[in-house]
A and B are shown apart, each in its own frame.
Chain A
Amino acid sequence: MSAIRIFVPCDAAALGVGADETARAIAAEAKRRSIEVNIVRNGTRGMLWLEPLVEVETPHGRIAYGPVDAKSVPALFEAGFNSGNPHALCHGPTAEIPYFKKQERLTFARVGLTDPRSLQDYLQHGGYRGLKNALQMQPAAIVTAVTESGLRGRGGAAFPAGIKWKTVMGAPGPVKYVVCNADEGDSGTFSDRMLMEGDPFVLIEGMTIAGIATGAPRGYIYLRFEYPDAQRALEDAIVTARRNGYLGENIQGSQHSFDLEVRMGAGAYICGEETALLESLEGKRGMVRYKPPLPALKGLFGKPSVINNVITFASVPIILDRGADYYKHFGMGRSRGTLPLQLTGNIKYGGLVERAFGLTMRELLYDYGGGSLSGRPIRAVQVGGPLGAYLPESQFDTPIDYEAFAEIKAMLGHGGLVVFDDTVDMAAQARYAMEFCTIESCGKCTPCRIGSTRGMEVIDRLLAGEQPEKQETVLRDLCQTMIHGSLCAMGGLTPFPVLSALNHFPEDFRKSGRAAAAGHGG
């Protein structure tokens, strides 16, 4: 009998709850029982509350067990889990788990399924078919396909990717760059990390296609230092791709050349802003640049540069593989394709849900998320990172769509939802939004640099009950100054969590309300 394949994720989230210990325990227990096993370290399926999620390959597909800590391994072997037998931790076939089955995995099709280090696995599961098509096409046709797919930047700004690419393609000169923004700093988001650790080749393929389309021979992935596991995964994959003719000179025998390297950030949220990122890549302080000139014309080292987020690049291979129409067919309105949504914070079933645009937040929070982790009512959800608005229950029926969110003065951003139960103090959250801006502002423009500090002070006075009406007027006025006077989204969007907290949860800002809440012991 050949060795049984057992999958134990190597994603950082799984490692953080003991996946390595589980893998070692499985190997040791199998040896003790003289059972031949082949442990494959896959990415995560994105059902993070089940991590470490161990899968056993059987003739009936992969059977899921989770969460499996090292201590429960002997009992699992006792129950015959290596043959897919039932156990209290068994969830049946992974593909049939409703949370997973109801998703539309396009960009994340392979994540959790394959061994991220194996190029062979990647090729067997549809990898590099997009590049193969791209190599047969004229650059303009590639750009047209990306434009027609309706793909918009997944980093947060949602700018149509094809238009950006077209500008770079049309820019003169032999030196151009492809830059991947992997500085995923928004709290409540981890889709970039999960993709880079779980399927690094798809990002490399997407960037290679971008290089061919725009005539850029060189690329950089700007990765945050907080993601050491993703760094290893990417660097290994780059070496493998280079060795197999997928990076370097004459890719797959064509006349195209493209090479890539990973550069590490150093803990500055502002470097997720594209021009600050470029400054940082150039070895400078991450200070925001004035626009124009657009980075597409004068970007990295002053040369035309395509800058996109990880998920944007990683969505390109499937567009080139299956065609723009296939991708466009998903979604609603002007939001085409799928968005990997991340259910995080105080949520029972936290994880990644890739779905076409158009489902509602309520579906996500309750059908997928199962309500709060604490079991208390969900009071507020922050969507789109630390610069995103706090939404109350009355707005949970908003569809996941860029325009629908803009209408309620919110933004989808990078697709992260952070859930808070009814113990949250929204005034404290508003103050934190300002505090975060004081810590992370690059300091170039005054509304952001000084406004955030003043904002914190005004909120403190408001909460202390010093002339509260006056303080609120000052705070709202300050927010308007920051929105309209800041150079980039850092200062320009910090008021959104503040104002949404103030508008939707005014009781938390009133001294009497706060005293009552404190009296409750909440």
Chain B
Amino acid sequence: MSSPPRKRVFPPIKVEPASTFLPGEREAVAEVCERLKGMPGALLPILHGVQDRLGYVPRDAVGVIAQELNLSRAEVHGVLTFYHYFRTEKPGRTVMHLCRAEACQSVGAAQLEFHARHTLGVEFHGTTADGAITLEPVYCLGNCALGPSVMVDNRLQGRVTPERFDELVAEARRRS
């Protein structure tokens, strides 16, 4: 007795989504790769290079970088997502890193964190609705005697009270 022939099921073919690169981004990624790929251990310098240029590492950059370095996309994705600093979403015009570590906690970082989240209306890693500010947590800025500390783009700020924080936000909004 033969069993009836099993119906064969084919999984649907996955179609690669269309490129989500914004104009100029692919060229920027390619240029950074070209410049740095000869370095030993080039992946981190390349990711830094891309983020320095574009403010983030577009998801589609993974494939380009993988090809340039002869790595798998999984390897590049793994590194990109391992490190807290690299981001795959476009940030606000100013990035504020707010220190959450112990030395800042001892002088009111938790209250500052509460204030920041409420006044900006975002959680950590979030960007304000007007696209002005992205709020990121950071674990020590090396300014532990003059906390609470915040880094506004690349500039360190010490003794940041909630009022000072509001000033920094206002300054950032004026700049952008």
A residues near B, CB below 8 A? 12-13, 15-17, 48-49, 51, 184-190, 192-193, 225-229, 263-269, 280-286, 301, 342-347, 350-351, 373, 382, 386, 416, 418-421, 424, 429, 432, 436, 439-440
- B41 at interface by CB-CB < 8 Å: yes
- Residue on B nearest A381 in the bound complex, by CB: B106
Q: Which 9 A-B pairs have the closest CB atoms?
A: A350-B145, A187-B101, A283-B43, A344-B144, A266-B83, A16-B158, A267-B85, A345-B106, A267-B84
Are B154 and A436 in contact (CB-based, < 8 A)? Answer: no
Let me know if B5 is at the binding interface, CB within 8 A.
no
Q: Are the C-beta atoms of B41 and A226 separated by less than 8 Å?
A: no
Set A48, A192, A386, A418: member contacting B106, Cβ < 8 A? A418
Q: Is B102 engaged at the interface, CB distance under 8 Å to the other chain?
A: yes
Interface string of B34-59 (1 = CB under 8 A from A): 00000011111101100000000000
Contact B44 A12 (CB under 8 A): no
Whether the Cβ atoms of A266 and B158 lie closer than 8 Å is no
| A311 CB to nearest B CB, Å | 13
Question: CB distance A345 to B107 under 8 Å?
Answer: yes
Contact mask for chain B residues 140-169; partner A; CB cutoff 8 A; 1 contact, 0 none = 111111110101001111110000000000
From B82, B107, B144, residue with most partner A Cβ within 10 Å: B144
- With a CB–CB cut-off of 8 A, which chain B residues contact A229? 156
Docked complex Cα distance between A418 and B109 (Å) = 14
Bound state CA distance, A424 and B107, in angstroms? 10
Q: Which of B105-148 contact A (CB under 8 A)?
A: 105-107, 138-147
Contact status A351-B145, CB under 8 Å? yes
Set B42, B48, B82, B147: member contacting A268, Cβ < 8 A: B82
The answer for the CA separation of A439 and B144 in the assembled complex, in Å, is 20
A436 and B145 in contact, given A187-B103, A229-B156, A346-B107 (Cβ under 8 angstroms): no
Q: Other than the known A267-B83, A301-B41, A436-B139, what 4 A-B pairs have Cβ atoms closer than 8 Å?
A: A187-B139, A188-B144, A190-B143, A421-B106
Contact A285 B82 (CB under 8 A): yes
Tell me how far the C-beta of B158 lies from the nearest C-beta in chain A, rounded to whole angstroms.
Answer: 4
A-B contact list, 21 entries, CB within 8 Å: A12-B156, A16-B157, A16-B158, A49-B145, A187-B139, A225-B48, A226-B141, A226-B142, A267-B84, A280-B44, A283-B79, A301-B40, A342-B145, A345-B102, A345-B144, A345-B145, A350-B144, A350-B146, A386-B139, A420-B106, A421-B106
Report whether B106 and A346 are in contact in the complex, using a CB–CB cutoff of 8 Å. Answer: yes
Q: How far is the CA of A267 from the CA of B147 in the complex (A)?
A: 19
B interface with A by C-beta (< 8 Å): 40-45, 47-48, 69, 75, 78-79, 82-86, 97, 101-107, 138-147, 149, 151, 154-159
Closest A residue by C-beta to B106: A345
User: Which A residues are CB-close (under 8 A) to B145?
Assistant: 13, 48-49, 190, 342-345, 347, 350-351
* B41 to chain A: closest residue by CB: A283
Is there contact, CB below 8 Å, between A263 and B138?
no
Q: Quick one: closest A residue to B45, CB to CB?
A: A263
- Whether A185 pairs with B144 at a CB distance below 8 angstroms is no
- Asked whether A17 and B79 contact (CB < 8 A) given A187-B140, A416-B144, the answer is no
With both beta carbons as reference points, the residue of chain B lying nearest to A278 in the complex is identified as: B41
B31 to chain A, nearest CB (A): 19
Q: Does B142 lie within 8 Å of A227, measured CB to CB?
A: yes
In the bound complex, CA of A259 to CA of B138 (Å)? 32
With a cutoff of 8 Å between Cβ atoms, the chain A residues found around residue B84 in the complex are: 266-268
Q: Of A15, A268, A301, A386, which one neighbours B102 at CB under 8 angstroms? A: A386
Given contacts A188-B144, A342-B144, contact A15 B156 (CB under 8 A): yes
Given known contacts A16-B156, A17-B159, A187-B139, A424 and B146 CB-to-CB distance under 8 angstroms:
no
Are A185 and B82 closer than 8 Å at their CB atoms? no
| A15 proximity list for chain B (CB < 8 A) | 155-156
In the complex, A285 Cα to B84 Cα: how many Å?
A: 11
Hey, which chain B residues are within 8 Å of A266, CB to CB?
44, 47-48, 83-86
Q: Is the CB of B41 within 8 A of A268?
A: no
Which residues of A are found within 8 Å of B144, using beta-carbon distances?
187-190, 342, 344-345, 350, 416, 418
Are B106 and A17 closer than 8 Å at their CB atoms?
Answer: no
**Known A268-B83, A283-B42, A345-B147: A190·B102 in contact at CB below 8 Å:** no
Cβ distance B156 to chain A, nearest Cβ, rounded Å: 4
A185 to B140, CA, bound (A): 6
Contacts of B40 in A (CB 8 A): 282, 301
Residues of B near A227 (CB, < 8 A) are 142
Q: Give the complex CA separation of A493 and B83 in angstroms.
A: 22
Beta-carbon contact of B106 and A16 below 8 Å: no
Q: Are A187 and B47 in contact (CB under 8 A)?
A: no
CB-based nearest B residue for A15:
B156
Q: Are B41 and A186 in contact (CB under 8 A)?
A: no
Q: Looking across the interface, which residue of chain B has its beta carbon closest to that of A268?
A: B83
Q: Is the CB of B41 within 8 A of A281?
A: yes
Residues of A within 8 A of B41 (CB): 263, 281-284, 301
Report chain B residues within 8 Å CB of A345.
102-103, 106-107, 144-145, 147
Most B C-beta atoms less than 10 A away, residue of A301, A347, A421: A347
Q: Which residues of A contact B139 (CB under 8 A)?
A: 185, 187, 269, 386, 436, 439-440
Closest residue of chain A to B97 (Cβ to Cβ) is A226
Which residues of A are found within 8 Å of B82, using beta-carbon distances? 268, 285-286
Q: Do A13 and B106 touch (CB < 8 A)?
A: no
Complex formed: what's the CA distance from A188 to B149 in Å?
Answer: 12
Chain B residues within 8 Å of A193, by CB: 142
